[in-house]
Amino acid sequence: MMSGWSNWSGSVTAQPGVTGRPRNLDELAGLVRQAQKVRVVGAGHSFMPLVHTDDTLISLADLEGRIDIAADRKTVWAPAGWSLDRLTGALWEAGLSMINQGDINPQSLAGATATGTHGTGAELGSIATQACGFRLMQADGSLIECGPGLHADLYEAQRLSLGLFGAATEIRIEVLPAYHLEERISRMRLGEVAERLDELAAATRHMEFFVFPYSDHVIFKTLHPAEPEGEFVDSADIDETVFRLVCELGAAATPMIPTLQRMLMRMSGQQTRRIGPAWKIFPSERTIRFEEMEYELPRANGMQTLKAAIDHIRSRRMPIAFPFEFRLTAGDDIWMSPFNKGAGASISFHQYAGMPWRSAFGEIEAILQAGEGRPHWAKRHTLATADVYRLYPRTPDFLAAREAADPQQKFANAHLTELFGLDSSRAGKAA
């Protein structure tokens, strides 16, 4: 049983009245039926209060289940509460891999799809685009399945759901035969990356880079399918021992941050290469706590917006300890996806958890919004209801599907009620 809860960064806390880790569907149904309000939590890697509740908070990490592989081996039904780490390990044992992953893997499959979590790859969509079916427990404890041609409106809304339509118990995802990836990490000048962005993106399946706001160089990282080659050696894209020291020194003496970042980049010039199983190469260990905001922009606006954000930080001498992360993602057709306007560039802005972040996030958010960006739903943002309707034309369809699925608003917490302008007076009342 869980008690008091906090997210990974420690910036969101809750004291749910009831917590549970059901082991089977009967236990889950009992918790859901008895609750006036219920939210389902994964690894707590959301920086917004998406699962905050003072009623019932449920983890599905212990729910019984297994992967069920389709006869053609192109899709599997997977337990929604499994972490991506557990899921990808089980897939690998079965000779399969996910199409794409992000750079961390503790998140639950349900949490990753429900928020539009993504990796990088100019022609690859978010994890939500890999989902092609859902089994949900509804407010009355009953189960419903949706997919293409089956409860179509529920399916379209559930593809990026923010947990508003029920507790996902299983998700059908598209998969590939197990593959290996070659990882290359090098140091490049930011100006060169900006000039060659399209060329660099076209040259490899996955491309991303990290840039500290006070350095003119980037840590440039590519991943590309490759044949196995020798014994896999685990390593990191950033030396966290050195980086942690830089963060601690910067927090203690903020005027040192520009010098420390340039020094760190001089130490990060060595090129590295390794090949390993995709599920081992995709994620990196992130043990240094941070707060994060991320905006998804039209690809054509990505680099110029990143430069504008860096210029702003430098001109204001803002004490930002962490680097920006820049990634590419394909467009999609999901109602509430920030990538549904076409090819995207993703800019992630972080601050060390031991340092103030709110005012800096407000300043950088304005720049990202000026670049026509839309926020990652699980990362820090200040959208209001009017913004949601303006940015997402299918919001009325999404909310109509939500109303049909959960008229009592059992799965809507205070944050989501405010964000979508739901009628809070109806919450918890009989339909």
**Token output for 167:** 């507790």
pTM of the model: 0.94
The pLDDT tens digits for 383-411 are: 999 999 999 999 999 999 999 999 999 99
Q: How many residues does the chain have?
A: 431
The pLDDT tens digits for 50-61 are: 999 999 999 999
**Is a pLDDT exceeding 90 seen at residue 29?**
yes
Domains of the chain: 5-59 (3.30.43.10), 68-178 (3.30.465.10), 180-375 (3.40.462.10)
The pLDDT tens digits for 212-252 are: 999 999 999 999 999 999 888 777 767 788 999 999 999 99
**Structure-token match 């590939």, residue found:** 176
Q: How would residue 261 be classed by pLDDT, with cut points 50, 70 and 90? A: very high
**By the 8 A CB rule, do 50 and 71 touch?**
no
Look at residue 329 in the predicted model and tell me its pLDDT.
98
Look at residue 267 in the predicted model and tell me its pLDDT.
84
DSSP for 367-429 reads HHHHTT-EE-TTS-----HHHHHHH-TTHHHHHHHHHHH-TT-TT--HHHHHHTT--GGGTTS
Q: How many CB atoms lie within 10 A of CB 2?
A: 14
The pLDDT tens digits for 322-348 are: 999 999 999 999 999 999 999 999 999
Comparing CA positions, the residue from 300, 302, 320, 322 lying closest to residue 312 is: 320
Tell me the residue ranges of DSSP E strands in 138-249. 143-146, 167-177, 180-189, 206-211, 217-226
**Is a pLDDT exceeding 60 seen at residue 314?**
yes
Q: How would residue 172 be classed by pLDDT, with cut points 50, 70 and 90? A: very high
Q: How would residue 2 be classed by pLDDT, with cut points 50, 70 and 90? A: very low
Q: How would residue 378 be classed by pLDDT, with cut points 50, 70 and 90? A: very high
Dihedrals phi, psi of 101, to nearest 5 degrees: -140, 165
Helix axes 240-252, 257-267, angle to 10 degrees: 170
The pLDDT tens digits for 129-153 are: 999 999 999 999 999 999 999 999 9
Angle, CA 176 vertex, CA 170 and CA 180 arms, to 5° = 120
